[in-house]
Amino acid sequence: MKRSTIWLEVAHPVVGAGVGQHSRFDTDRWGTLTRRFKTMFAIYGGHGDEGARVASEHLRAIHSQVKGVDNQGRSYHALNADAFLWVAATGYSTQADIRRAFGGRVDDELEDALYEDWKRTARVLGESERVIPPTRVEFWAYYWHVVDDVLERNLCTDRYPFRRITPTPKLPDFFTTREAAKP
């Protein structure tokens, strides 16, 4: 996961407030990232449809407790549909960036299929059809609207993730063994 993806996520006011007030990222960075990658792997198909459903329910249950008031006095809840969609959207935009950087041009038919797969993932995450952009064109209009009009500098964008951990800790086993990726 690119550090810029995490930064885009926490620049969303709801996500930034929730992470800033509830996350252990500052004190347990590798543990937080390891749990996140394991959940993403299950949701993105590493454990089949049932594994994705279970991981999504677990993710939503954890986030159901993440709520409060941000430093500007605004109430927030992590299951706010727009904020929850934004986190998933940064995953799709990062994948698109990687495809462009390493694969060059992807034809429209394949890109549409990849977008449909992302929409399936958004639905597995419990997103309502109401907030999922129906087409790639509408996705990118939504994405740039959020970047231009919603994202903001906040305590999380100032605090991390661009700050390096020094010294860099040993990678957890999840990142170094193939066995860890098996269900």
Confidence at 181, pLDDT banded by 50, 70, 90: very low
89 has pLDDT over 60 = yes
Most confident of the following: 40-44, 48-52, 111-115: 111-115
**Per-residue pLDDT for 175 more than 50?**
no
Mean pLDDT for 29-45 is 78
Q: pLDDT (tens digit, 9 = 90+) per residue, 91-137?
A: 888 888 777 777 766 788 888 988 998 898 888 888 889 999 999 99
* 3-state SS string for 80-116: CHHHHHHHHHHHHHHHHHHHHHHHCCCCHHHHHHHHH
pLDDT score recorded for residue 183: 41
Of 183, 173, 4, 182, residue with least CA distance to 93 = 4
The pTM of this model reads 0.78
Rounded distance, CA 63 to CA 72, Å?
A: 21
